[in-house]
Structure 1
Amino acid sequence: MAGYAVAPAPFEWSTFTLCALGTGLLSGAANSVNQFHEVPFDSQMSRTKNRVLVCGRLTPLHSMLFAAGTSITGLGILYYGVNGLTASLGLANLILYTSIYTPMKRISILNTWVGSIVGAIPPLMGWSACAGTLGPGAWLMAALLYSWQFPHFNALSWNLRPDYSRAGYRMMAVTEPMLCKKVALRHTVALQAISMLAPVLDTTNWWFLLEVTPLNVYFIYLAYKFYEDASSSTSRKLFRFSLLHLPLMMILFLVNKKKWFVFEKTDNSEEQSL
């Protein structure tokens, strides 16, 4: 919901709550469909062999009924409680995840790029829920989320190569290990380049760039160490820092956002009372 919080429009708790609820329901639906399709493959991976469908604690029918219920409810909440643009983005992301990304994981390493688009859409949904449109700042946030996912997932997948290989998934870490390292490094550099656009596009003040640069530089350093000598140690360090990097970057984006409509609204009210 970072997209909602940083959008240049008044913050409304009711809309924010409905957006979060609708988005969460769609996420649950997408994951349910994903697990429905991947039961035979999840059973071959240590990381996923204890999922409820694999273990038989729920049936495939249960998962699809759950997916149908949560997707319909989630889309309804977004359309009627938020706006049509947010609902359309949610529907597009649901289709992209379940119908393109999920089957592509066993076909091509391009699944990682598609999956990164899936991860970049939620901030667009939050922004559109708050502002009603998609401004330059929305696309900037989406670009940050898109690039962040490559070092995050490539580092994660590096130590899961035996699992992915056994299950037949086409991941960079398995089929193109050098590309896996290069892409992780490239996108940490891209994060810094994208961050530089935030004050230029008048989305944040210049303090954001000054504060986020040390985070990005250290991220680049860890990605370079992973590129230079990919091992369990370097991949874990990169992955763990990615978990810290994203929330810190979003917090910095929020506290340094250029337009605080809540404050402007309060100031206007005080002026009218005077």
Structure 2
Amino acid sequence: MQNLSIPQIDTAKVSIVQDFKEITKMRLALSVVFSSLAGYLLGVQTISWQTLSLLAIGGYFMVGASNAFNQIIERDLDALMDRTKNRPIPSGRMSVSTAFIIASIFTILGITVLYVINPKTAMFGAISIFFYVSLYTPLKTKTPLSVFVGAIPGAIPFMLGWVAATNEFGIEPGTLFMIQFFWQFPHFWAIGWFLYDDYKKGGFFMLPTGKRDKGTAVQVLVYTLWTVVTSLIPAFGVTGSLYITPVSALLILLLGVFLLKYAIKLYKIRDAKTAKQLMLASVSYITLLQIIYVADKFLRTWI
């Protein structure tokens, strides 16, 4: 009889790969890279696949570095929360020195790769790391204003792509920055709402009033409205070469109504389930908005 052996999986290698993905927050990093690429496609006249690749690689390095530094600084607090206690450092699977080496190498490689595109892109990438690691991370345990500070590096990627394409900063990348800046608030306050108890264990202040109350719900609603309004500004021809057609503006408006529906629902019900629905709706909103913006530009070019 033939002896059939079942191939064994090298669990050590799987663990190393998984820990690497977790320390750099791969899924989050890829979503940030997506925003950067969308911004690049909006700003470029002729696509350079080399630049596009460099932006994706450099962007991933920069976000991965920020996330690794963040987990080093918050390792003791991460150990207190159910959501984060199994991360590589608090679980003991990765040493602080190993994480620091990864973060440092990623920072150097990220700035270098983005500098090859142009110095402005590297500068904004470096600013993003500085704000996230040196300002946003330590403020999270001190004041709800940390979300405002964190919204700055969070809004840079969409803008960064345009700067990579044009080597210029003006009204167009500024508008892209503002769209993603305002979007951060309903998105992260929704997360802060449904993870409120877990964040409380780590001493994080994520909600504007510090509580899951009417005041927080009102601010979520206001910033959701600002997000939608800002997203529609390019339809009025006041943002330079950044422009969307009335058809695309209508699609964005419909997306905005969809997002506002959940913000209003949170205002009325104020529970964790609705907050999670709002968070998922916000992710859909920003992703589809970027796709619509890019599709609008290229469809106008082809037609």
**Is the Cα contact below 8 Å between 2:58 and 2:110 reproduced in 1?**
yes
1:13 maps to which residue? 49
2:112 maps to which residue? 76
**Is the Cα contact below 8 Å between 1:189 and 1:220 reproduced in 2?**
yes
**Is the Cα contact below 8 Å between 1:43 and 1:49 reproduced in 2?**
yes
2:284 maps to which residue? 244
Tell me how far 1:97 sits from its aligned partner. 0.5
Deviations 1:87-146 (A, max 9, x none): 000001110000000000011100111111111011121111111112322111111111
Mapped partners of 2:258, 2:244: distance in 1 = 22
Mapped partners of 2:202, 2:289: distance in 1 = 34
2:16 maps to which residue? none
Tell me how far 1:51 sits from its aligned partner. 0.2
**Equivalent residue of 2:90, what SS?**
helix
- The answer as to 2:194 corresponding to 1:159 is yes
Deviations 1:18-59 (A, max 9, x none): 011111101111111100010110011111011000111110
Q: Could you list the runs of 5+ residues in structure 2 that have no partner in the other structure?
A: 1-36
**Equivalent residue of 1:54, what SS?**
coil
Mapped partners of 1:174, 1:183: distance in 2 = 9
**Is the Cα contact below 8 Å between 2:232 and 2:252 reproduced in 1?**
no
**Equivalent residue of 1:48, what SS?**
coil
**Is the Cα contact below 8 Å between 2:39 and 2:160 reproduced in 1?**
yes
Moved more, 181-190 or 108-117: 181-190
1:256 maps to which residue? 296
1:63 maps to which residue? 99
Identity, in percent, stands at 30
> Which residue among 29, 32, 46 is the counterpart of 2:82?
46
1:141 maps to which residue? 176
Tell me how far 1:231 sits from its aligned partner. 0.6
5 Å-filtered alignment, 1:187-198, equals 187-198=223-234
Alignment TM-score, normalising by the size of structure 1: 0.90
- The answer as to 2:224 corresponding to 1:184 is no
Tell me how far 1:5 sits from its aligned partner. 1.4
* One-letter code aligned to 1:232: A
Tell me how far 1:247 sits from its aligned partner. 1.0
- The answer as to 2:257 corresponding to 1:217 is yes
- The answer as to 2:158 corresponding to 1:123 is yes
Alignment TM-score, normalising by the size of structure 2: 0.82
**Is the Cα contact below 8 Å between 1:144 and 1:194 reproduced in 2?**
yes
Tell me how far 1:180 sits from its aligned partner. 2.5
Mapped partners of 1:33, 1:252: distance in 2 = 34
**Is the Cα contact below 8 Å between 1:208 and 1:252 reproduced in 2?**
yes
Tell me how far 1:183 sits from its aligned partner. 2.0
**Equivalent residue of 1:3, what SS?**
helix
Moved more, 173-182 or 228-237: 173-182
CA RMSD of aligned residues (A): 1.8
Moved more, 26-35 or 225-234: 225-234
**Is the Cα contact below 8 Å between 2:144 and 2:208 reproduced in 1?**
no
Moved more, 192-201 or 209-218: 192-201
**Is the Cα contact below 8 Å between 1:108 and 1:170 reproduced in 2?**
yes
2:207 maps to which residue? 172
1:34 maps to which residue? 70
Q: Could you list the runs of 5+ residues in structure 1 that have no partner in the other structure?
A: 265-274
**Is the Cα contact below 8 Å between 2:78 and 2:90 reproduced in 1?**
yes
Tell me how far 1:226 sits from its aligned partner. 0.3
Q: Highest relative contact order (Cα 8 Å, sep 6+), 1 or 2?
A: 1
